[in-house]
Structure 1
Amino acid sequence: MNVATFYPIFLSAAKVTIDSRNIQPNDVFFAFSGENFNAATLAQDAIAKGASAVIVEQEAFENTAENIFYVPSTLKFLQELAAYHRDQLNIPVIALTGSNGKTTTKEIIHAVLSQKYSVQYTKGNLNNHIGVPLTLLSINDTHDMAVVEMGANHQKEIAELCQIAKPDYGYITNFGKAHLEGFGGFEGVIKGKSELYDYLKSASATVLVNQNDLIQMEKTSGYERCISFGGQHADYQFQELTKDKFVGLSFQGNEAYSNLTGSYNFTNLCAAASLGLHFGLSFQEIKTAIESYQPTNMRSQIVEKNGKTLVLDTYNANPSSMAESLKNFSKFKGSKTVILGDMLELGEASQQEHQNILDLALKLRFNEIITVGNLFMEINKSGNAFGSTASLSEYLKNNSIASENILLKGSRGIALESILDFIA
């Protein structure tokens, strides 16, 4: 089976899925196998559930009479199909990556552009070598444009995703100390993320640039196809606003306040607003989108509970985002407790980076500092160090946190949100 031959079957399908539990009638099922599981054994069950076709990578399970097709690699075929489909689309595709804030930025961009257009976008965190193709394959003729998030933890990954998505516009939120182990240090992060710039330049596509980011300015220097914000001579100039705990922006005397906390989210708002203005939205439409967007994805999410304000930022963490979160949280009025989870995938820099964060937290003089995870436990000798969320949960059953404000920040693998039920 080749992509061109299979493409008409895909076009007539309802959707593409890789989850056998969620197969609906007229779906195409890609049978991805794991180390200890052969998904091809589910092919007949998928057809029985109404799947219009199944892709397997074990030739013995092929049954073309029932639209069960063999390919050498389900992953490669998925990616090739997505790239082929992308070539048929005549809509702008916006790609974004970065060390911090890319998912929140993607969500706000979608909210803004959806005020005027039908926009398909990356759902949740489907931003890798499987998620990007699935997003592209979900685009149909009802969509006017698409926003595709690209994640990476090693070099060459963004370059590969660009060859599939072929973006017309691109934005890198920032360059931070994330996935240092896979990228080989901070310089490796810059090189890896900048693969998006490399593609955009080679394709004569458009780059969105934050002129306050020196690395972005350096990497896009001399490139003319840019939309800019942040600088004195930028295409779009915004002023930061704050009200209570929340951040907003003003543009030509008009104001919009978000439901996000932290100055770092001001840049995310600027990126979305810039794209909105570029694509012909009025600031009133942008304001409506910004003010109606509610973060619910454990990223800068405000939760009010029992008279306490909780900042739930537990989807991911690295030294850059952790430091920004701590600095922002220190500005909250009232007593403050921080609950910090380990930062993962930092390689040889791990111990020093955890020490730096603990030192910063001490310098900011929070009322209480609690750490969770073995990496923080090695350096936190205060007595408020817990090896896991389970052990902290047991502690919180009998010990309440007195502070009015509580920040929860840690890597996804720590799952700090699991202690929410134990915070009285």
Structure 2
Amino acid sequence: MSINLRNLIPVLEAEWIGLHTAIFVDHVSIDSRSLQNGSQTLFFALSGVNNDAHLYISELIDKGVQSFVVQYVPDNCKGRANFLIVKDTLKALQEFAAYYRNLFDFPVIGLTGSNGKTIVKEWLNFLLSPDFNVIRSPKSYNSQVGVPLSVIAINEKHNLGIFEAGISTVNEMINLEKIIKPTIGVLTNIGSAHDEGFLNLEQKINEKLRLFKDSALVVYQKNEIVDLCLAAFVKENQLKGQVLFSWSFTDKSATVFILKKESKNDKTQIEYQYKNEIFNLEIPFQDSASIENAISCLLVLLYFKYDFATIQNRMQMLYPVEMRLEVKNGINNCSIIDDSYSSDFQSLKIALDFLESQKKNASKTVILSDIFQSGFSNEELYSKVAQLIADNKINRVIGIGNTISSFSDKFSNAVVFASTADFIANFESLNFANETILIKGARSFQFEEIVTLLEEKTHETILEINLNSISHNLNFFKSKLGSNVKMMVMVKAFGYGNGGLEIAKLLEHHKVDYLGVAFADEGISLKSGGIKLPIMVLNPESTSFPSIIQYQLEPEIYSIKGLNAFLKIAREKNLKDFPVHIKLDTGMHRLGFEENTIDELIATLKGNSTIRIQSILSHLATSDDKDHFEFVRSQIRLFEKLSSKLMTELGVNPIRHILNTSGISNFPDAQFNMVRLGIGLYGVSNDAAEQKFLENVGTLKSIISQVRTIPSGDSVGYGRRFMATKETKIATIPIGYADGISRLWGNGVGYVIVKNQKAAIVGSVCMDMLMIDVSEIDCKEGDSVIIFGENPTVTEIANALKTIPYEILTSISQRVKRVFFR
């Protein structure tokens, strides 16, 4: 990309305020935190309910960015850079992408549906890339922002595009259609995702079909409702002359009719009829979703007129698609970011941004294979890769592959190997320690072997933490806040059991205002891990005050005794204006200054310069219980009264906050200057209506260690609490009460999920194991088991055990490995 900025003025209908008449841009950005922003970056300052990128323009100018698309020019930026002023920067980004897309003329496959878009996209890339230079959406970039960023990556060497389009409500697809302009449309499985954004299934299908307005071909699974929607579109002249290329298991009038599918040895044999001929196809999957996705790919290959032998050869090599970046603990205090199944230029840029946001160690290493299908010559490609590496301040590059090895001189810090085997042979000499390592390789390089070498060895039970879901939940609650209301996020109790430092890094990346922890050692751990956000300590012990001061933590002060103890140490250390947080007791009766102690508090603080009241806070007792909302209102009134008295008497204007997660939703008029988000971040709400808008964050998984069949009359586990009444197949799972699984969840009360089916827990939960009944489930040793996540949820478990989701989450032992992914 090389575009003259002035040429964009009419495209974006923008007002121009600039320093230079001819500026060329070769990179588009919407993220002020990216280290890839530079002098030839065009930065779109997106503004929404959760954030306003205009606030970071001055900082970007200082870093060398010269060109911006904005809705207004901040006062401190006038005369310092080039500005294209528009009414709506998101609309401008989309218009720019549509303009850029129209510069190219080659086949483009547009994918939409509820499920399977990313998998079909990756499989089509694999199937078609031997014959095309493919540009495709990186990861799952299919949103109103993701689609423009995907399309902007096209260059002159590409001759086939594959782009996803995802929507959550009506009137969104019209924007994406203009950007993708697909010549071939593929409608994948229509399921329940985003149902809340549509009146009914028909409306959702109609909206998705708008992507194919000008497509020459539409691939879809034939069924009554889709056919009715297509017919209506043709009648309304919204679809014009498209070839409808359908497939079906039941309708013989489909273009491709599936006569038979038969599973055998983890594979599926498919017999299908096309143009009155019968063909056979084998794919290496048995689940219904993969079969449907593979058939969608089959129809695209048929449209491209591939011969049967080529279709059979390529489709039998399809593979599971990893759609996430994982963060894992590594050997020798390393942190591993596993992207070991993908190596293309666009996804490298995304992975490097993720590396920066999640690095635990200052030293950064990238292990990178040869990059395929970039659209650039090798000379140009590796020059660009080397620049990316330099921009992201990577300390060491380990290149694997003949091509990257031949361009090693472009990197100032590279070690190269011809193959993964060569790397493994020299592994010990590379001395991995105290570094964050991004592992990024094309499938053919089998970088999973490198991940295995570098990953810390722990048992096979893991708690997977979805960082995307945390971001989603954070933004959901941010959207409820007033424009100037700050947010403190609670990461106490090891991030509610999910992992403190990793989540804190993500929150810092999202620029939350404060973090909250329970005890000083939690805050010290975060500060030692590199967290720079201010951290409030809710329950500081007087013995921890010296450490709190040393690590620049901010204590909550809740008693005269504690205040005097902290003042004594503060004076000894000659502190001035050290931030503290004053806790008021408005009815919780746990910690805090009561109304009858306020005068003494004021007298103690008056004229004091060693500390500064950073905030005044209180805690709601029943913000989630409608039967006690009047009590909550009385707390809020008392907080207003007492905090106002403090502010008036002391002449201060601190932050004030009283709302927790439930309070944010139920008492929007009491946001004051800040709110405190806790369990809601982790995807749990006490309100069933609100719960559907939150995403599950943690999934606790294990495996089957052993399967046995016991006869009627035999028992299972300690105390013989389960007695088989018939021949029963029992599987043992390596997780128990030492890992945080309550013994109350055993003996038939609870269950786990195996192969998408419920398996009851039988007998007593042991310290390190539990047993399940899998008599009706076709499973084997090594199969995955879900303990909680989407099903069962922690709320369901908590209700069954007559406790709260907090206890379920925070009980998960730290010996259970946390795996973070995006």
TM-score normalised by structure 1 residue count: 0.67
Q: What's the CA shift string for 1:289-320, capped at 9, x where partnerless?
A: 66153421269x9x99999899x99899x9xx
Structure 2's unaligned 5+ residue stretches are 13-20, 235-240, 273-277, 326-340, 342-447, 470-691, 693-706, 708-728, 734-752, 761-773, 780-784
Map 1:36-185 onto structure 2 (within 5 A): 37-47=51-61, 49-51=63-65, 53-60=67-74, 66-184=81-199
Q: What's the CA shift string for 1:222-277, capped at 9, x where partnerless?
A: 7751223335454445554534445565676554433x551221110111122123
Q: Distance in 1 between matches of 2:179 and 2:88?
A: 16
Give the C-alpha shift of residue 278 in structure 1: 1.7
Q: Distance in 2 between matches of 1:229 and 1:309?
A: 41
Q: Distance in 1 between matches of 2:47 and 2:78?
A: 18
Q: Which residue in 1 is equivalent to 2:247?
A: 229
Q: Which residue in 2 is equivalent to 1:192?
A: 204
Give the C-alpha shift of residue 59 in structure 1: 2.4
Conserved 8 A contact 1:112-1:290: no
Which of 211, 214, 218 is the aligned partner of 2:224?
214
**CA shift in 2, pair 1:180/1:228, >3 Å:** closer
Q: Distance in 2 between matches of 1:89 and 1:11?
A: 22
Q: Which residue in 2 is equivalent to 1:15?
A: 27
Give the C-alpha shift of residue 75 in structure 1: 0.7
**CA shift in 2, pair 1:288/1:12, >3 Å:** farther
Give the C-alpha shift of residue 207 in structure 1: 0.9
Conserved 8 A contact 1:93-1:167: yes
Which of 237, 242, 254 is the aligned partner of 2:263?
242
**CA shift in 2, pair 1:247/1:166, >3 Å:** same
Q: Which has the larger radius of gyration?
A: 2
Conserved 8 A contact 1:24-1:51: yes
Q: What's the CA shift string for 1:321-367, capped at 9, x where partnerless?
A: xxxxxxxxxxxx986799xxxxxxxxxxxxxxxxxx9x974799569
Q: Distance in 2 between matches of 1:60 and 1:307?
A: 53
Q: What's the CA shift string for 1:48-70, capped at 9, x where partnerless?
A: 54546322222246667743433
Higher RCO by CA contacts (8 Å cutoff, separation 6 or greater): 1
Give the C-alpha shift of residue 372 in structure 1: 3.9
Tell me which amino acid in the other structure corresponds to 1:263.
S
Which of 379, 383, 394 is the aligned partner of 2:811?
394
Q: Distance in 2 between matches of 1:292 and 1:229?
A: 20
Q: Distance in 2 between matches of 1:360 and 1:85?
A: 48
Q: Which residue in 2 is equivalent to 1:265?
A: 290
1:295 lines up with 2:295 in the alignment: no
Question: What SS is found at the alignment partner of 2:102?
Answer: helix
Tell me which amino acid in the other structure corresponds to 2:73.
E
Q: Which residue in 2 is equivalent to 1:402?
A: none
Tell me which amino acid in the other structure corresponds to 1:195.
E
1:27 lines up with 2:41 in the alignment: yes
Give the C-alpha shift of residue 114 in structure 1: 1.6
Tell me which amino acid in the other structure corresponds to 1:111.
F
Q: Which residue in 1 is equivalent to 2:303?
A: 278
Question: What SS is found at the alignment partner of 1:16?
Answer: strand
Question: What SS is found at the alignment partner of 1:124?
Answer: coil
Structure 1's unaligned 5+ residue stretches are 319-332, 339-356, 400-417
Give the C-alpha shift of residue 77 in structure 1: 0.8
Conserved 8 A contact 1:17-1:28: yes
**CA shift in 2, pair 1:285/1:148, >3 Å:** same
Q: What's the CA shift string for 1:120-178, capped at 9, x where partnerless?
A: 11111211111111111111211112111111111222233223322222122122222
Structure 1 stretch 27-36 or stretch 116-125: which is displaced more? 27-36
Tell me which amino acid in the other structure corresponds to 1:215.
I
Q: Distance in 2 between matches of 1:124 and 1:264?
A: 19
Question: What SS is found at the alignment partner of 1:21?
Answer: coil
Q: Distance in 2 between matches of 1:197 and 1:125?
A: 19
Q: Distance in 2 between matches of 1:10 and 1:76?
A: 24
**CA shift in 2, pair 1:292/1:264, >3 Å:** closer
Q: Distance in 2 between matches of 1:66 and 1:13?
A: 13
**CA shift in 2, pair 1:10/1:381, >3 Å:** farther
Q: Distance in 2 between matches of 1:166 and 1:395?
A: 48
Structure 1 stretch 53-62 or stretch 79-88: which is displaced more? 53-62
Identity %: 26
Higher helix share: 1
Q: Distance in 2 between matches of 1:307 and 1:220?
A: 51
Give the C-alpha shift of residue 5 in structure 1: 3.7
**CA shift in 2, pair 1:156/1:49, >3 Å:** same
Give the C-alpha shift of residue 90 in structure 1: 0.7
Q: Distance in 2 between matches of 1:276 and 1:57?
A: 45
> RMSD across aligned C-alpha pairs, in angstroms?
4.9
**CA shift in 2, pair 1:50/1:242, >3 Å:** farther
Q: Distance in 1 between matches of 2:786 and 2:298?
A: 36
Conserved 8 A contact 1:16-1:28: yes
Q: Which residue in 1 is equivalent to 2:554?
A: none
Give the C-alpha shift of residue 24 in structure 1: 4.1
